A and B are shown apart, each in its own frame.
Chain A
Amino acid sequence: MLRLDLSARKALSLGKDAVFRLLVLMMIFLGWLAGMGAAGLLGLDEIYHQWQLNQKSHVSVYLMPDSTPRQIETLEEALIIIPGVRDIKRLDQDSIRQLVQPYLDDRTSLPLPKILDVKVVEGLDRAAFDAQVHSLFPLAEIDDARAMLKIVADGVQLAQTAVFAVASVIFIVLALLVSLTVRSGLQAQQRSLAVLQYVGATNGFLTLLVMQQVLQRAIIGTVGAAILGAACLWGLQESYDSMSTYLTYQVWMAIIAVPLALMVVVMVSAYWSAVTTLSQRQVTADGITS
């Protein structure tokens, strides 16, 4: 990039424009907001995937406490041949006690149900599975987390779409703000622009003056937004131990990448605004362009 003399930079100082002076703060705030949104989106995705991996391949069958080992064996033999069933594990009494303990309180004398943990794959014939269970154990309960997973998946997708929409709005708003700022800044400095052109400044040179000022502020805003976002994530991680599982490398990268992407949007918007504003300037009768 062409190095610019300080006098040339001072000659066309957009910093005089009040909105332009706020560009750094706007970038920090909007960059942080979009970065946190993206990090939240990725974190939510990670939570969902970890839970999904844990839940989607298991169906639990709760049988009455008085079910005999022979009846259970018969059921196992009937279920294992259903398409989609891979394995059946009978939970021992200690595991069941641990599982149901929170619901029993101090009623330890209550008989415990029998539980089958059925490992399944995609394509399970759920109707045949249910029919087989209920034909042998009419009062059995079948707990299939996959239905819930579908609802949660829809919810996650909705949240992701909402975050994406908000982030897009942030990007558009910032692009418009920068465009407006550059345009109003150049409009406010018609005399300086005219003098610079009288001494030989080309539109390319003037655009460079604008871009350099925008770039300086954009870098500060981007770094500020990334630092603020990283500090927030670090605070969350320190406050909640369980968070560190979900704060993956991608989440941390999002906190940096989103403000960087915002900087690119700002620079493109500034460039386009400067080029169009300068090329549209018209000479008026008093010799000052507008």
Chain B
Amino acid sequence: MITFENVSYHYSNAEKAAVEKVSFELEEGSFNYLTGPSGAGKTTLFRMMYMDMTPTKGRLTVFGRNVSAMSQDDISLMRRRMGIVFQDFRLLPHLTVKENVSLPLTLTGPMSQQQESCVDEIIDWVGLGHKSNILPGFLSGGEKQRVAIARAVVNRPRLLIADEPTGNVDASMGRRIMHLFTELNKQGTTLLIATHDRELMADCPAPSIIVENGRISKLHAA
């Protein structure tokens, strides 16, 4: 599904590469954690996975296609098969909770009744049914996190990548979110979660990719 082959990324204003000669593969239907200390290169790897950046060296393929050879429109179309949860949520402040969540479904025209129901269902599921018509500015960090997660999973993505998805929610909601993720994984969604939360990793065991100093230091089996 995603293959890194000797991938390096060097920011133009940095002395050393943020990611260097990284090789690993995310298999279709797998569930992995991506972990490591701050500044290790997790975000850079993440951004390359959702094709926000292309490798400065090496070869990265997503859904079997070489990212470096893709146009912006190809990337956008590819992202329709992905769900991305950002650490900073990236919600649109002038859209309501429901509009934010339904955004991925609106790209191909007006939503069907079934899609509308699906949006309502997922908003209810993350516990924000009573707030579906309010703007993100009136939500807490945890609630915004849940909206971002709902948006990422609403179109049943083939690949879900999440950066600290439970970082802003309480333990109970964290467990619910992880339950949702594992359910999606059982239905075939490939899952990659970046986290520092050892408790979370212990509760939902899965192989870990550990990043240190821009390199993959270990591939831990669950």
Contacts and interface: CB of A to CB of B under 8 A. Distances in A.
Q: Are chains A and B native binding partners rather than an unrelated pairing?
A: yes
Contacts of B84: 198
A19 to B, nearest CB: 18
A198 B106 contact: no
Interface string A188-202: 000110111111111
B11 interface: yes
Contacts of B218: none
Nearest to A7: B99
B110 A10 contact: no
Contact of B103 (A7, A191, A194): A7
A197 B79 contact: yes
Nearest to A196: B103
A202 to B, nearest CB: 4
Interface residues of A, number: 29
Contacts of B72: 197, 202-203, 279
Contact of A7 (B11, B47, B79, B106): B106
Interface of A: 2-8, 10-11, 13, 16, 191-192, 194-205, 279, 283, 285, 287
Contacts of B110: 3-6
B140 interface: no
A130 B200 CA distance: 112
19 contacts: A2-B109, A3-B109, A4-B109, A5-B106, A5-B111, A6-B110, A8-B103, A11-B95, A11-B103, A16-B94, A192-B92, A194-B90, A198-B86, A198-B90, A200-B77, A200-B104, A203-B72, A279-B72, A287-B52
Given A4-B110, A7-B106, A8-B106, A204 B95 contact: no
B151 A199 contact: yes
A10 B76 contact: no
Contact of A283 (B52, B92, B104, B106): B52
Contacts of A198: 50, 52, 79, 84, 86, 90
Given A4-B109, A205-B107, 20 more contacts: A3-B110, A4-B106, A4-B110, A5-B106, A7-B103, A8-B107, A10-B94, A11-B92, A13-B94, A16-B94, A195-B90, A196-B103, A197-B79, A198-B84, A199-B151, A200-B104, A283-B52, A285-B11, A285-B13, A287-B47
B103 A199 contact: yes
A10 B104 contact: no
Nearest to B88: A287
A287 B53 CA distance: 8
A134 B76 CA distance: 89
A276 B8 CA distance: 30
A4 B92 CA distance: 18
B203 interface: no
Contacts of A7: 95, 99, 102-103, 106
At the interface, is chain A mostly helix, strand, loop or mixed?
helix
Contact of A201 (B13, B94, B107, B111): B107
Contacts of A2: 109
Contacts of B91: 195
B80 interface: yes
A191 B80 CA distance: 18
Nearest to B91: A195
Nearest to B54: A283
Interface string B69-89: 000110111011000101000
Contacts of A202: 72-73, 76-77
Contacts of A287: 47, 52
A8 B109 CA distance: 9
Contacts of A200: 76-77, 79-80, 104, 107
A155 B151 CA distance: 67
Contacts of A13: 94
Nearest to B80: A200
A203 B76 contact: yes
B107 to A, nearest CB: 5
B134 to A, nearest CB: 15
Contact of A203 (B47, B73, B103, B111): B73
A5 B65 CA distance: 30
Contacts of A279: 72
Interface string B175-211: 0000000000000000000000000000000000000
Contacts of A199: 79-80, 103-104, 107, 151
A102 B102 CA distance: 82
